[in-house]
Amino acid sequence: MGILDKLTIALVGTLPHDAKQMRSWIERNGGKYSAKITKSVTHLIASKEAYKQPADAVQQATDLGIHVVSYDWFDDSLQGRRKLSAKKYTWAVLMKERRKKKELKRLGTLADGSKFRKGCEKIKELTGSGTSKKSAVGKPRKSKSFFFSTSTLVVPPTPFVSAKEDLLRRRAERESAPIETIDDFTSPANQSPSSSISNPKPVCSSLRKVPQAKISHWKEDYHYYQDITGFEYKIVLVRGGESLMANYHIGLLEGHTKPHVYWALVQYKPAKVPPVNDDGSHQHVQHPEATRLLSLVTKPTPVPELPYNGELCPRNSDFATASRSFRHAFRDLTLLSWEERFDTNKTLQKARAQHLNIEPFWYGKPKMGMPVGMLPQAMGLLTGEASGLEVRGDIDDGYIRGASNLPSINAPLTTNGIIGGSIHHDAEDLRKREVARMQRTKDREEAERRSRGQPRGMGVNHNRPMFNGPMGRPTVDAYGQRINYGSNGDYTKYTVPMPVGGGGSNRGFVAPEFAHLLGGGRRRGYTPFPSERDG
């Protein structure tokens, strides 16, 4: 048994699906479809427009007592897998409920207004202000004092001012706040000498209202641009050096209104410690007040020692102009095009920094799972090689290095920088690998020489005495011979007799070559060496 068993359904009006599709659904769920309104029809599915006109089919169904329902009855029945009651889905019930809701909404608005007015009247009565006839301020009693007996104190009632009126009044006063300007209007020709001397009057000043320009924040008109991947074009670039970090904030903004307009802004925050010259002295930094006064005369040139806030393109620019200025500023600061921002192992950035001897800024990749932006470099455009500074598409893109006129883009390489330190570490690792390679080559040659039976190679002056002893030049060599040094750098060796006892002029000494004869006869059980045996 189907969901729509024993039901005959007709259609009229513009429905979410065409008649052919709905007919197949009706018949597939056990119902029957009728193209005309007859007595056998049980339900007529009508659109809102067809019921309001009303259409001929709706009028015929109403006369025959057929349920004129909305499409929601058909959809809910199929989704719920059961035949629903048509009473609450009929257009008569639905239109009645809508009229009731509108009436309740209208009455609710009137009721709220009535409650508000009654509350205001009650507050006026309690405070004794406004249009209340009874004043809450009592009549002051007559003073019994002799001095003040004739005076009568009159306290005027406090006028009622709503919070909204007070807020509007304060806002108007704040916006129209006057700026005092002194205008000397007293002319010396109109004054007599006596009056000018005897009655000196101060110079009068007139107040002239000058409208003040209200500077609005960019967030009132713009927000950060997001591409289709959800990446927000608000990036931070950092550069480390001998002092603290210097950083750049670059943003691509999009207008709130449509059609959208765009704007690119940049903010630079230098390191807190001034940079050091080659001779070790700190560079001179201009006083902030002097910088402010000079900026009134001419636009100051960006310097690496001072913060900088500026725009990369004019306000209300099109997307192509703003995006191009954003990418060019990124390339000036990092030596990478925007499409090369995810440089593996900093290969391109280190090669270009070493070529220009410039310490660039570094861009960190977003955290895992966060949007990284579109990657149009998949086609190979706007990317380059480590062998040069050129990037494919530079001519069409119109890039010229330094055209953005940003401060601190030509800082020299340092061993403490992010990129300079990495280059220094790579060079040190390369040197160590070269030394290790040369040592392995030397050891291999030495092993081959030993395998051929050749003596080990001796170093330079291997047979000369060592002069790096802790007590200076050695006086005895490894064999016990005395060393005598000459004035010209030569030396001679001689033997000192060993004390053995005896008499005569050489008593107690014997030559070393005869010392082995003093051992006496061979002890019992002694086995001579092969060289000591008799032939």
Hey, what amino acid is at 332? D
- pLDDT at site 441: 92
101 — pLDDT class (breaks 50, 70, 90): confident
3-state secondary structure of 210: coil
Residue 310, CA distances (Å) to 220, 302, 360 in order: 18, 10, 20
- DSSP string of 90-146, one letter each residue: BHHHHHHHHHHHHHHHHHHHHHHHHHHHHHHHHHHHHHT-TT-SS-SSPPPPPP--S
Indicate the DSSP class of residue 362. E
Residue 435 in this model has a pLDDT that exceeds 80:
yes
User: What rounded mean pLDDT belongs to the chain?
Assistant: 75
- pLDDT at site 132: 46
Q: How confident is the model over 449-492, as pLDDT tens digits?
A: 888 876 666 665 555 555 556 666 777 776 777 777 776 667 77
Counting beta carbons within 10 angstroms of the beta carbon of residue 54, is it exposed (0 to 12), middle (13 to 18) or buried (19 or more)?
middle
Q: How confident is the model over 327-350, as pLDDT tens digits?
A: 899 989 888 888 888 877 788 888
| Count of beta carbons in the 10 Å neighbourhood of residue 521 | 6
Cβ contacts of residue 108 below 8 Å, gap of 6+?
none
- pLDDT at site 188: 41
Stretch among 273-277, 432-436, 462-466, 469-473 having the lowest mean pLDDT:
273-277
Q: 324 or 194: whose pLDDT is higher? A: 324
125 — pLDDT class (breaks 50, 70, 90): confident
- pLDDT at site 514: 58
Region 34-39 average pLDDT: 87
Task: Return the structure tokens found at 315.
Answer: 């306000």
Domains and CATH numbers, the chain: 8-89 (3.40.50.10190), 221-277+284-424 (no CATH), 474-522 (no CATH)
User: Helices 418-451 and 347-356 meet at what angle, rounded to 10?
Assistant: 100
Q: Are 290 and 296 in contact (CB under 8 A)?
A: no
447 — pLDDT class (breaks 50, 70, 90): confident
- pLDDT at site 191: 43
